[in-house]
Chain A
Amino acid sequence: MQEVENTQTTALLTSEELRSKAIAISQQRGQSVAKRRVAKRWVTWFLWSWILPIIGSLTVLMAVASMSLVYYFGPAKVIDSAQNWLIERFGIERPTTKPDNIALEKPQEKSDTIGNKTTPDQNIGISNAQSVTNSASTVILQFDRDIELQNSKAATPNNSSSSRTNNANSVLLPKGTQQ
């Protein structure tokens, strides 16, 4: 009974009112959708027309500039300059001591089965332990090479060809080997 009274008191919309309301709702909805779509298209256009070409051009420019620097000044000077710049700009300390605490002399634990997942070293077996040792040896050799480069420069400043040969030999020598 209550529902019947409610339906009777609620006035039905005329066709004109219904049409007007429907069009008004459609208009409001349409404006927001249209704005969003135009904004999306603008962003897409801006990205493809400006941002990506700028990033691409800068990348190419930087690559060309880096190659030119390496070509004209040599890789050692460029790397040294870059390291100096990093130190000045970000305050990164260059490592001065040998990383003796790297477990180089630790005996390698050879696992018999590849894929035994008890520990991380044993996970990939021999190759992992060897790669750790090799990378550590590379670090040591690099330090040795730097020190010997400095020594050779200080000892023989004029004889560049012989020092270069010595340095090349010293790089190949393992740690602790006498020349």
Chain B
Amino acid sequence: MNTYNTTERTTARLVPNDRLNAITSLIGEGAVFEGSFHSKDDLGIKVDGQLIGGIVFENGGAIHIGPTGLVENTTIEADYIFIEGKVKGNVIARKSLEISGSATVLGDIVYDALIDIHPRARLRGKIDYRGDLDSTL
């Protein structure tokens, strides 16, 4: 059962909807989780509550920080990362990174392929492109 209303998502997203729909773990709003979240499989996690610690997906993976979500003291790493909430720490996106207008990121950002920063997103930190600059031009 596809619970995401795909018809409402008219805007093109760098993070595919099927990746956002394939969330396997959820930290609900109001919940506080302390510790590191780690997986070698291609899974997905959505954070609506507070996560104090890191999230690392070694292979694949999708991370969705919801608008009510707060991730701090962390490094989050995955293929697809979609940030709508607040992140204090470093962000590493191997395929695509999308930062919505409601997001706040305090930390460095590293991405390999695609990045999309919406208007009114708040960023404080360094943005690094890890790909080959010469090959793209």
Where the two chains meet, the residues of A that have a C-beta atom closer than 8 Å to any C-beta of B are: 16-17, 19-24, 26-27, 29-31, 33-34, 37-38, 41-42, 45
Contact = CB atoms under 8 A, between A and B. Distances in A.
Nearest to A27: B4
A84 B21 CA distance: 71
Contacts of A45: 120
Contacts of B5: 27
Interface of B: 1, 3-5, 21, 23-24, 26, 28-29, 46, 48, 66-68, 84, 100-102, 120, 122
B24 A19 contact: yes
B60 to A, nearest CB: 18
Interface residues of chain B: helix, strand, loop or mixed (majority): loop
Contacts, number: 59
B68 A17 contact: no
Given A20-B1, A26-B48, A42-B120, A34 B28 contact: no
A30 B67 contact: yes
Given A34-B67, A38-B120, A41-B101, A29 B23 contact: no
Contacts of B102: 33-34, 37-38, 41
Contact of A29 (B1, B48, B122): B48
Contacts of A26: 26, 28-29, 46, 48, 66
A173 B46 CA distance: 84
Contacts of B4: 23-24, 27
Contact of A22 (B21, B26, B122): B26
A80 B66 CA distance: 63
Nearest to B24: A19
A41 B120 contact: yes
A46 to B, nearest CB: 11
A14 to B, nearest CB: 10
A16 B1 contact: yes
A38 B67 CA distance: 10
5 contacts: A26-B48, A26-B66, A34-B67, A34-B100, A38-B101
Contacts of B29: 26, 29
A19 B120 contact: no
8 residue pairs, one from A and one from B, having the closest CB atoms: A24-B3, A33-B67, A37-B102, A34-B67, A34-B102, A20-B3, A38-B101, A41-B120
Nearest to A42: B120
